[in-house]
Amino acid sequence: MLQYMVKKCCSEGTKLNQILISALVVLPIFSYGTAVGWLSPMGPKLMADKNLNVSAEVVSWMASVVYLVGIPAVFIFGYIVDNYGRKKALMLTSFFMTLCWGLKLYSTSTWALITARAIMGLGVSGSYVVTPLYIKEISEDSIRGTLGSLVVLSQNLGNLVVYVMGAYLDYYLVLWICLAVPLLHLLVFTSMPETPSYLLKIGKTEEAREALAWLLCREKTEAVVENHLQLLVQEKQQENKSGCFKDAVKTLVSDRSTFRAFRIVVFITLARELCGCLAVLHFASKIFDEASAGHTGWVLTPNQQAAVLGVVQFVGSCTASTLVERTGRKPLLAVTCLVSGAAMCLLGAWFAYGGGGWLPVAALCLCIYCDAAGIQPVPFVILTEMFSFQLRGTVTSLVMAFACALVSMELRFFHPLASLAGMYTIFWIFSGVCFMSTVYIVIYVPETRMRTLEDIYAEIGGIKHPKDCEPDVTRL
């Protein structure tokens, strides 16, 4: 019914439906963003309550358990995505997020808080496995980069919203508002279509045609719909028809160009997760509290400063939506990584030697801006553009498992390492990762914007292409 109403409201041939469904698809990512940001204002509140046995150790586990659970969860969702569809997998993520917020409302005991965060790990992994895939398969080439950047934009918006709520609203009211988001997604998304690519995979050609017509704001009898459908059919015919995870992994390892593409994606994922921004977002209040210690004239509280960080992050995400199509993937990723490394280096120097009270705020804002504008969104866009339909699910699962392992270690040892070696050491490590990643990006990462897999693989395989890379035919 909702599909019919929207189709009647949009002009023929517009991209309105692709934008609408993408906005709905990223709601689970928004919910994840609220979960990430929630720990910054609420962690100190929980530790300050003497009736609760919540220590810094418990908060570290609350931060890291999300990603520990995420390691096996990405493979589970990879199986669900390939065998039960993108739509069902995405709705399952919102179900887990509903359980997470509901359990936090039910109890503030240590077991409940850690268990809720573990359940959130299922939702997080699922949403990041499914969402980039879904957006790639329902969007045209001309807007795919912009819509793909909505993944990180929605996460950062979630961070911002919960930072602001945490500074001014009651603990339980914040939880009720966070609970409403996945419930809304479960209610609305039931009327949205499955992706045309998956419908073709399972042999539902007519349903794929109807989904294409809706996404293109066209009648299903129009020639343009048939042309898009045939392009998808041809894409599938050119690929290995086996959807087995084992066969996909074998292809990744045995094919030279595919393996190089996988290696590139793994490395930029490492850069994304170890640039330090996720740790900053989880422990922003603590970092600002240490930064403000001994300095007078600070107008904002640590939680309010964290909210300012959320604003900067959101602005950066909006910038990404604009720049990712204009500048290309590679330049945006390299520049933001370089600037973030410089900001982290300055921040480490401030914690080591001191200086003006404004410096840590400015440096954190700069690195968070760069993270949101390029380091976070661009790797997801590159991932979906460097692999065929047959391999996307498998690659996404492997990369997300790797990312979860990195982040769980980073968050688990942030507090102990800060106490042992000093906050400055951590930020210098993050800075080093950013600088080394910049060099790698410049040398090895190809530009994927508006290019076919043939063009991309010819470049990374070391084969000189006979002509300049032409933009691919606009298609879903």
Instruction: Output the six-digit token pair for 53.
Output: 């046995």
Nearest to 37 by CA among 372, 389, 374, 442: 372
Q: Burial level of 193, CB count in 10 A (0-12/13-18/19+)?
A: buried
Tell me the CB-side half-sphere exposure of residue 178, using CA atoms within 13 A: 39
For residue 60, the tally of other CB atoms under 10 A from its CB is 19
Give the three-class secondary structure for 238.
Answer: coil
Q: How far apart are CA 409 and CA 419, in angstroms?
A: 16
* Residue 441 CB partners (closer than 8 Å, separation 6+): 268, 271, 330, 333, 334, 337
Residue with tokens 């280096």: 345
Instruction: Kindly give, in sequence order, each residue whose CB lies less than 8 Å from that of residue 420, ignoring residues fewer than 6 positions away.
Output: none
Q: Give the model's pLDDT for residue 298.
A: 53
Q: At residue 241, what is the residue type?
A: K
Predicted structure pTM score: 0.73
Residue whose token pair is 């080093």: 432
Q: How far apart are CA 98 and CA 123, in angstroms?
A: 9
Backbone angles phi, psi at 376, to 5 degrees: -80, -50
Both tokens of residue 137? Answer: 């398969």
pLDDT at 263: 93
CA–CA gap between residue 409 and residue 417 (Å, rounded):
11
pLDDT of residue 13: 58
**Is the CB of residue 2 less than 8 Å from the CB of residue 188?**
yes
Q: Is 14 helix (H, G, I), strand (E, B) or coil?
A: coil
Per-residue pLDDT of the chain (476 residues; tens, 9 = 90+): 445 444 444 555 578 888 999 999 999 999 988 988 888 788 878 887 777 777 777 888 888 888 889 888 888 887 888 889 899 999 999 999 999 999 999 988 888 889 999 999 898 888 888 898 899 888 887 787 778 778 878 888 898 899 888 878 888 999 999 999 999 999 999 888 898 888 888 888 889 889 888 988 888 778 888 888 888 887 776 654 545 667 778 888 888 889 999 999 999 999 998 888 878 777 777 677 776 665 555 556 767 777 787 888 788 878 876 777 788 899 999 999 999 999 999 988 988 887 666 788 888 889 889 988 889 889 988 988 888 877 877 887 788 888 888 888 888 888 788 888 888 899 999 999 999 999 999 999 999 888 888 889 988 875 444 444 344 444 45
Distances (CA, A) of 56 to 105, 117, 363: 21, 15, 25
Pull the structure tokens for residue 168.
Answer: 């001014």
Q: What is the largest CA-CA distance in the chain?
A: 71
* DSSP line for 161-172: HHHHHHHHS-HH
Question: Which pLDDT score is estimated for 24?
Answer: 92
Among 352, 359, 355, residue whose Cα is nearest residue 425: 352
> Which of 439, 409, 438 lies closest to 426 in space, CA to CA?
409
pLDDT at 64: 85
> 194: Cβ–Cβ under 8 A, 6 or more apart, which residues?
85, 86, 87, 207, 211
Domains plus CATH for the chain?
Answer: 14-192+239-460 (1.20.1250.20)
